[in-house]
Structure 1
Amino acid sequence: MAACQSSQPVFSKRGEEYRSAREIAAAKRASRRGQREGSMASTSKDRTSRTRMHNRNLDKDVATVIKTARSYTGVPYKWGGTTRVGMDCSGLLCTSFQSIDVTLPRTSDEQSRYGDNVKPKDIREGDLVFFGESKRNITHVGMVTEVISEDEVRFIHASTSLGVMENNLYSDYYKKLFVKAVRPPVF
């Protein structure tokens, strides 16, 4: 299994020059700044999640980690994966947090002990959410990307069947598997 702490992940597409997650994040930030300046002159309204995050004044690190995780949307599931070729749930978070120079533990069980427990009503963007058959057997992890209402909390994760995607924490399926939420000590 690839350990995200020991390797420098590469996020470039085939045929492009190889770049680290940090380099890509810096380029995207510069691009966003340019788009914001350009959009101030136009009258069209951007209704993307990036705008919602900006309007909510999320911590810059939280926004960076969420944006990095979302950049993997559609990447297929691969057990032990930490690259665009394939990603598992804990690998997605481990790799996403590297964009702010934070090394998370590698497995979902270890990540469930990294930070303070959060009550479901207090969940916010950047919190980690854990799932399993029981409280003693955590088998899956995701990260909250958006708190829309008390009935809709979006989280990103790597699904074994559909790859990296976002779902509602309070859907019937995930509600019955939910074990706990944790706020990483970096936020």
Structure 2
Amino acid sequence: MASCQSAKPTFSKRGETYKSAREIAEEKRQARKQARMAARSGGKGKVASKDRTSRTNVPNARRLDENVATVIQTARSYTGTPYKWGGTTRVGMDCSGLLCTSFQSINVNLPRTSEEQSRFGKAVKPRELKEGDLVFFGANKYNREITHVGMVTEVNNDNEVKFIHASTSLGVIENNLYSDYWQKIFIKAVRPFDD
């Protein structure tokens, strides 16, 4: 967890170059694409149909990217963990620590603060939100300084977008982005993964 404490990217091996979440996700996406193509060319019709069937069992009739699903599952495993400023463990964690720790499950080192995380990825309009997108908030409706972050976990319709975050009063919890409270302090959203 030590890498979460620094805003500077850390590398797991000496001499290894830094890769963004986009680059890592793209490499994995390409590997899966090649595996699918190899399976199809092998003449196994069952493989392709089995793949199509599995996609229909996922919310919104689409299969979540494996990286996104892993990060969301990791974040949800901390549900109920109490809030602790600067925390990154089950003893306690803050909002940016939750995301930093969750992204480590796919070997991606997010910056440590919510303000720095707001620059990690491309901007997304609220109506285009997807699972895995990061959402950022201010302290109140008059403050445009980013002080809080969460991650989208479910997009059910235009009126319900769930996100997970570390609340100062309730710890790690999921809320609806479109509730009045969160809409008043919402500032922006970014997508750390490429489409």
With normalisation by structure 2, the TM-score equals: 0.68
- Equivalent position to 1:146, from 133, 151, 154: 154
Taking a change above 3 Å as real, the CA distance of residues 68 and 53 of structure 1, as seen in their structure-2 partners, is farther
Is 1:128–1:183's contact at 8 Å kept on the other side of the alignment?
A: yes
Q: CA RMSD in A?
A: 2.1
Separation in 2 of the partners of 1:185 and 1:99? 14
> How far is 1:135 from its partner?
6.5
State whether structure 2 residue 88 is matched by structure 1 residue 85.
no
Match of 1:77, SS? coil
Q: Structure 1 or 2: larger strand share?
A: 1
State the partner residue of 1:4. 4
State whether structure 2 residue 168 is matched by structure 1 residue 160.
yes
Taking a change above 3 Å as real, the CA distance of residues 83 and 149 of structure 1, as seen in their structure-2 partners, is same
> How far is 1:136 from its partner?
4.0
- Superposed counterparts of 1:1-187, under 5 Å: 4=4, 52=58, 56-132=62-138, 133=140, 136-185=144-193
Separation in 2 of the partners of 1:120 and 1:136? 16
Q: How many residues align?
A: 143
Taking a change above 3 Å as real, the CA distance of residues 61 and 135 of structure 1, as seen in their structure-2 partners, is farther
Q: Structure 1 or 2: larger helix share?
A: 2
Taking a change above 3 Å as real, the CA distance of residues 86 and 54 of structure 1, as seen in their structure-2 partners, is farther
Bigger Cα Rg: 2
Separation in 2 of the partners of 1:55 and 1:122? 16
Structure 2, unpaired ranges of 5+: 11-56
Taking a change above 3 Å as real, the CA distance of residues 84 and 148 of structure 1, as seen in their structure-2 partners, is same
The one-letter code of the counterpart of 1:81 is G
Structure 1, unpaired ranges of 5+: 8-50
The one-letter code of the counterpart of 1:121 is R
With normalisation by structure 1, the TM-score equals: 0.71
